[in-house]
Amino acid sequence: MIFPLIDPFQRRVRDLRISITDRCNFRCTYCMPDEGMVWQPREDLLTYEEIERVARICVTRWGFTGIRLTGGEPTVRADLATLVEKLAGLGVDLAMTTNGATLGLLAPRLRQAGLRRVTVSCDSLRQERFASITHRDALHRVLDGIGAAVAAGLAPVKVNCVLMRGVNDDEILDFAAFGRANGVVVRFIEFMPLDAQGAWTAETVVTYDEVVRTIDAVYPLDPVAGRGSEPAERFVYRDGGGEVGVIASVTRNFCGSCDRVRLTADGQFRNCLFAVRETDLRAVLRSGGSDDDVARAIEADVGMKWAGHAIGRVTFIRPQRSMSQIGG
Residue ranges in contact with ligand SAM by CB under 6 A: 24, 30-31, 70-71, 73, 97-99, 121, 160, 162, 189, 191-192, 194-195, 323-324, 327-328
State which of residues 18, 28, 80, 263 lies at the interface with ligand SF4 (CB under 6 A).
28
b vs e for 162-186, b when ≥16 Cβ sit within 10 Å of the residue's Cβ?
A: bbbeebbbebbeebbbbbbeeebbb
27 binds ligand SF4 (CB under 6 A): yes
Half-sphere exposure of 267 (CA within 13 A, CB side): 23
- Residue 104 interacting partner from ligand SF4, ligand SAM, none (CB closer than 5 to 8 Å by kind): none
CB closer to ligand SF4 out of 97 and 279: 97
Are 73 and 118 in contact, with CB atoms under 8 Å apart?
Answer: no
Neighbours of 155 (CB within 10 A): 15
Closest to ligand SAM by CB, 71 vs 242, is 71
- By a kind-dependent CB cut-off of 5 to 8 A, residue 32 interacts, out of ligand SAM, ligand SF4, none, with ligand SF4
Give CA angle at 190 (184, 195), nearest 5°. Answer: 115
149 vs 162, beta carbon nearer ligand SAM? 162
Q: What's the min distance (Å) between Cβ of 183 and ligand SAM?
A: 20
81 close to 113: Cβ distance less than 8 angstroms? yes
* Minimum CB distance to ligand SF4, residue 43 (Å): 21
The reply to whether 74 sits near ligand SF4 by the rule CB under 6 A is: no
**Given candidates 55, 71, 215, 319, which one binds ligand SF4 under the rule CB under 6 A?**
71
Q: Which is nearer to ligand SF4, 72 or 231 (CB)?
A: 72
CA angle at residue 315 from 309 to 319, to 5 degrees?
60
Interface mask toward ligand SF4 for 268-307; x: CB under 6 A: ----------------------------------------
User: How many whole angstroms separate alpha carbon 311 and alpha carbon 261?
Assistant: 19
Among 13, 16, 20, 32, interactor with ligand SF4 by CB under 6 A: 32
Q: Is the peptide bond before 8 cis (omega within 30 degrees of 0)?
A: no
Judged by beta carbon distances under 5 to 8 A according to partner kind, the member of ligand SF4, ligand SAM, none in contact with residue 210 is none
CA distance 34 to 82: 32
Contacting range for ligand SF4; rule: CB under 6 A; set: 28-36, 38-46, 182-190, 232-240: 28-36
- 185-190 and 268-270 strand pairing: unpaired
Q: Which does 327 bind (CB under 5 to 8 A by kind): ligand SF4, ligand SAM, none?
A: ligand SAM
Q: Which does 27 bind (CB under 5 to 8 A by kind): ligand SF4, ligand SAM, none?
A: ligand SF4
How many positions of this chain bind ligand SF4 (CB under 6 A)?
12
Q: Tell me the window of 65-73, 107-115, 261-269, 292-300 that interacts with ligand SF4 (CB under 6 A).
A: 65-73
DSSP strand pairing (158-163 vs 117-121): parallel
Distance CA 84, CA 180 (A): 29
Per-position DSSP letters for 3-53, written without gaps between them: --EE-TTSPEE-EEEEE--S--S---TTTS-SS---PPPGGGSPPHHHHHH
136/64 Cα distance (integer angstroms): 36
**Nearer Cβ to ligand SAM (64/200):** 200
In the complex, the residues that contact ligand SF4 under the rule CB under 6 A are 24, 26-28, 31-32, 71-73, 99, 121, 324
